[in-house]
Amino acid sequence: MRPYTEIGVFGARHAVEASRWMQGAKPGGVSTREVLADGGDGPLPVRVYHPEPGTELPLTVWLHGGGWVTGSVALADRPCRAIAAASRTVVASVEYRRAPETPFPGPLDDAVAATRWLATHAHTLGADGSRVAVGGDSAGATLATAAARRLRGARWLRRQVLVYPPLTPPDPDAHPSWKEFGAGHLLTREDMTWFWHHYLGGDPHAATPPPDAAPLTAPGHAGVAPVSIAVAGCDPLRDEGVAYAVRLGETRVPVSLREWPDMIHGFLGMGGELAATAELVAWIADELSREET
């Protein structure tokens, strides 16, 4: 695949959407409906997945990956179906606004507003608004944990599930996995810097990003919902996820960390090619049912 810096925003979006062939067959047995949530600046489309219509189940708000620039609810459809079926939760996949048309904090504002709206209206979706989790993969995971920071203290928010999140602009000195895997392993340092540039609206290394944009730089995490983090062993983002787990633990936030040693970034969307994708979905389901004591 050509670098995103060469093919541009619309080329990158097309290339990412074209990758759905790797996801495999669409899981069955899940009911879907489309709703509009109140967003940060207008209504946001949400696709709701219910594995057992007529039964009130916990709610999982899911934020798709794609570097804040690419990706969509449509691309996340098969993973969300699989998560809903495996976890026995109602999964609500949010079509948040993307950069560069809407840079930070727009996508995060959408994530926070949609999560609040979905929790408030959960009963209309066949979900329990007192048992809500927020999660996502890649850039969506960053939005999920930043939204949880903004929503700290909300008793209905029970967990964060973060799948290989980018938590700060690439820093090979602080996170050596960028030196190991920053080229030739699907996600490159060049492309990730390009994503951050569009998300922040400028050079991501010119100044320290706002903590809500780059949660690893945030000064404190006390009071946020318990966190579950999945990292891929051959992903340049691996060390950021590990560092975040350590940081959360230091502030007594309940945190669990799981690594898939031989996997690369994006393997949640490779269910048609990799057995590890089903293992990841099962882990997500287990974490969504985890109760802290």
Query: Catalytic residue numbers?
Result: 138, 235, 265
Q: β-strands 227-232, 57-63: how paired?
A: unpaired
Instruction: Burial-class residue 204 by CB neighbours within 10 Å (0-12, 13-18, 19+).
Output: buried
Phi and psi at residue 178, in whole multiples of 5°?
-70, -35
Q: β-strands 42-50, 57-63: how paired?
A: unpaired
d(CA 75, CA 78): 7
Number of other CB atoms surrounding residue 152 within 10 Å: 14
Number of other CB atoms surrounding residue 26 within 10 Å: 10
Residue closest to 229 by CA, chosen among 245, 213, 240, 218: 245
CB-based contact 63:111 (threshold 8 Å): yes
